[in-house]
Structure 1
Amino acid sequence: MSFVVYLAASAFAAVSVLLFRRPRKALRDPLTASTCVAITLGSLVFICSAPLTLGAVNRLTGIANFGAPLTYSMLSAYSCSLLILLFTWRGGPPGTVRRMALRCITAYGTAIVAIIALFILADADTERLTDLDTYYANAPYMREMILLYLLGHSTATLAICTVCVKWAREVDGLLRTGLRVILAGGVLDGVGFQLMKYTAVVAAWRGHDLSVLSTTIAPPMASLAGLICSVGFVLPRLLPPAVAHWRSLGDYRRLGRLWSEVGFVAIAPKPPTSWWHLPQDRLHWREVSIHDALLALAPHFDDRVRTRALAAALGQGSSPHEARVASEAAMLADATRRAAAREEPLETPSTYRFYATEVSGAEGLVELAQALEHSPSSPASATVR
């Protein structure tokens, strides 16, 4: 069981690192900060609940079962953080969101204090690493402590599912998908973890032994439910930038030929080499550098080359736009050849404006790069940064 919960904790930690990639920016964004707090607490819950961790905590503190109130307190804090995250995510007047967050903190903070106090009052000298809930189900104060942490977690789950159902009716797209995923995780947690725990504890009250539900079924279900809920929370936030970075990576690669042609005249700073710079950052640098190179090559642009290439492309049945880009690629290839051969600039250089400079983003440059594939190669392509 330790392996399962450690694996879940690792997944939680990985998601938190992705969201917290830029700490200063993340801390200024309440939604990102609350998401990171919730996921970090979820990771700590799984780490604390692992039997290996429980045994280590008990040995370090010298108190039998000290890991139990620690885990239950972490779970209560995690439940509180999920509620605050959902309130922050949904938004509303800042004052209202703050008041709701303070109420959650007050309620669950009180519950955590009560959990610790009940454990201190209880007599739990026999260490139980996996079946504490059922073993001490009838013990004074331990019984109340166990019931308190379960009720606190159930309350949070019910509130989250209720908000998700209502909110999902008001939104669409990726946000609705994320809310439905959270709802699925909440239902799985309620059925696979909470119901199993309640059933095992109630059975122990009645003198029956169903601890297998609590020790074997509930933990992996809780891990899976937690991961599903985390996916629901981060999907609407991570998927759009992930798709954007993937597209940026494709555009960055498609601009490779164009950059190899004109890069030798660009004076832009060197590109970032750290892996920390994502594809969008690298694409932006390449766009800026290529535009810089086009300015540097302007004295070598020959309108006669462009005019001939335009007429030839139109004669071959190309659309006006395709012909324009093809003629620009031909003029660019000729200019790079002249610049690479260190020829003198033209006496009357072209003042023509490239299509790629008229549109925003990388689309125009990508079209130019693709057209360049069918134009005569420039000797400058041998000089690549």
Structure 2
Amino acid sequence: MSLVVYMASILLALAAVLLRRPRRTPRSPLSNATRATAFIAATCFFWSAPVTLAAVNHATGIPNVGAPLTYSSISALSCSLIILLIHWRGGPEERIRRMTRMTVAVYGTLIVAIVLLFSLADAHTERLTDLDTYYANTPYMREMISLYLVGHLASTVVLSAVCLKWARDEVTGLLRVGLRLILAGLLLDALGFTLAKVTAVVARWLGYDLDVLSTTVAPPAAALGALIYSTGFVLPRLASAAAAERQSLATYRALTPLWSAVKDVVTAPPVAEPTWWQPWWQMPSSRLYLLEANIHDALLQLTAHFDQRVGHAAYAAAVERGERQEQARFASEREMIIDGIRRASGKGDGPADPPEKFRVTIGLVELAHAVNRLREAAPAQARIQ
């Protein structure tokens, strides 16, 4: 059973890593909540594995101390799922903060109660797989087990109700797929884990033995259910992140001609040029960030080769063509930068007349397209380096 649980933990931890925020992306409460939920779920399954429970009990010298640790992590997961759904639905920030604080307060109190009840209980016989049913009639342990099951069931009911209500709205695409996965995972969790555990515990209260539901049915159902509903939460986020990375890769490729044109005519080395081993593991957004930093640094070094007379002439020509002021300014920058690259490579005519102040406002992609068109149109011996 530990292998199944560890596999679920690894997959959820991998999802948390894949959902990392790109370096230049502003912090998002939804992204943070999604990653936190995946991480807490991974931690929850890690602590619940019998091998981990035995190691924790042995390391602390306290029999069954892994139980409140596992039950607390399950409660924390229930709390994080509700908070994630709160952020996923959105709404006024004050309402989101108020509901988040309320959820944390409820489940925080539940976790404190679980720890307190365990400390009061008499549970000196170590049970790694059937603790719920073995101690179902033990004072304080009985209440602790009931509390964590009720807390988990409550979160499942709340999440299911909200998702069902939301699914009736006009939801399409990956969001609809995500909702269906969440509902499927919650249903499996409710029937395969919570109901199985509750049935086994209640059977013990009534003098029957249905421990197989708790020890054999519940753990794999919980792992599979968590993977399914976590996929439902994560899928839309991963899809949007993948789209952003694809755009970053396209922009990176579009900027390559510009970088090829400027990297050999500047005197200082790149600020952070990727080494040979980085491209295969770096995300496109990180590689794009470094490339843009290198290009901006190179353009700053080329300022001494810019000729403002070329810029003025390009601006006047653009205005005469009827272009707007902003477009005329971009044309001025573009021609001045291209002329500066020529001069830096020894192909310019006469001394440059650099402007006193210069700031790049034109888009780098537009500039790269202009450089690429020039390189393709010019004879091979006159191409920009």
TM-score past 0.5 threshold: yes
CA distance in 1, matches of 2:132, 2:369: 62
Amino acid at match of 1:156: S
Q: Which residue of 2 aligns with 1:96?
A: 95
| Structure 1 outlier segments of 4+, above 6 Å | 22-26, 289-299, 334-339
CA distance in 2, matches of 1:125, 1:166: 46
CA distance in 1, matches of 2:260, 2:10: 41
| Contact 1:266 1:292 survives alignment (8 Å) | no
CA distance in 2, matches of 1:184, 1:257: 49
| Contact 2:273 2:291 survives alignment (8 Å) | no
CA distance in 1, matches of 2:15, 2:220: 19
User: Alignment partner of 1:272: what SS?
Assistant: coil
Q: Which residue of 2 aligns with 1:345?
A: 349
Q: Which residue of 1 aligns with 2:237?
A: 237
Deviation at 1:54, TM superposition (A): 0.8
Deviation at 1:128, TM superposition (A): 0.8
Provide the aligned C-alpha RMSD in A: 4.2
Does 370-379 or 131-140 show the bigger shift?
A: 370-379
Does 255-264 or 130-139 show the bigger shift?
A: 255-264
1:377 aligns with 2:380: yes
Deviation at 1:266, TM superposition (A): 5.3
Does 80-89 or 365-374 show the bigger shift?
A: 365-374
Task: Give a deviation string over 1:147-187, Cα, whole Å, max 9, x none.
Answer: 22111101101111222222342544444443333233222
CA distance in 2, matches of 1:249, 1:43: 30
User: Could you tell me the TM-score, scaled by structure 1's length?
Assistant: 0.71
Amino-acid identity (%): 50
Q: Which residue of 2 aligns with 1:183?
A: 183
CA distance in 2, matches of 1:271, 1:242: 27
| Contact 1:5 1:50 survives alignment (8 Å) | yes
CA shift in 2, pair 1:269/1:189, >3 Å: farther
Q: How does 1:196-215 map to 2 (within 5 A)?
A: 196-215=196-215
1:30 aligns with 2:29: yes
| Contact 2:270 2:297 survives alignment (8 Å) | no
| Contact 2:121 2:141 survives alignment (8 Å) | yes
CA distance in 2, matches of 1:344, 1:107: 72
CA shift in 2, pair 1:167/1:134, >3 Å: same
CA distance in 2, matches of 1:147, 1:266: 70
Task: Give a deviation string over 1:23-76, Cα, whole Å, max 9, x none.
Answer: 9987x6433443343333222211211112111221233221111112111211
Q: Which residue of 1 aligns with 2:124?
A: 125
1:362 aligns with 2:346: no
Task: Give a deviation string over 1:114-167, Cα, whole Å, max 9, x none.
Answer: 323333343322211012122223334333322221111011011112222223
Q: How does 1:178-327 map to 2 (within 5 A)?
A: 178-253=178-253, 255-257=255-257, 259-261=259-261, 263-265=263-265, 270=270, 272-273=272-273, 278-282=286-290, 284-285=292-293, 288=296
CA shift in 2, pair 1:366/1:229, >3 Å: farther
CA distance in 1, matches of 2:367, 2:15: 35
| Contact 2:375 2:383 survives alignment (8 Å) | no
Does 169-178 or 360-369 show the bigger shift?
A: 360-369
User: Alignment partner of 1:265: what SS?
Assistant: coil
Q: Which residue of 1 aligns with 2:62?
A: 63
CA distance in 2, matches of 1:197, 1:179: 25
CA shift in 2, pair 1:266/1:182, >3 Å: farther
1:138 aligns with 2:137: yes
User: Alignment partner of 2:124: what SS?
Assistant: coil
Deviation at 1:343, TM superposition (A): 4.0
Deviation at 1:215, TM superposition (A): 2.4
CA shift in 2, pair 1:365/1:111, >3 Å: same
Amino acid at match of 2:108: G
CA shift in 2, pair 1:344/1:247, >3 Å: closer
Does 158-167 or 72-81 show the bigger shift?
A: 158-167
User: Could you tell me the TM-score, scaled by structure 2's length?
Assistant: 0.71
| Contact 1:194 1:218 survives alignment (8 Å) | yes
User: Alignment partner of 1:270: what SS?
Assistant: coil
CA shift in 2, pair 1:230/1:151, >3 Å: same
Amino acid at match of 2:86: F
Amino acid at match of 2:187: V
CA distance in 1, matches of 2:138, 2:156: 27
CA shift in 2, pair 1:46/1:151, >3 Å: same
Structure 1: runs of 5 or more not aligned? 303-327, 348-356
| Contact 1:245 1:278 survives alignment (8 Å) | no
Deviation at 1:206, TM superposition (A): 4.6
Amino acid at match of 1:362: V
| Contact 2:272 2:294 survives alignment (8 Å) | no
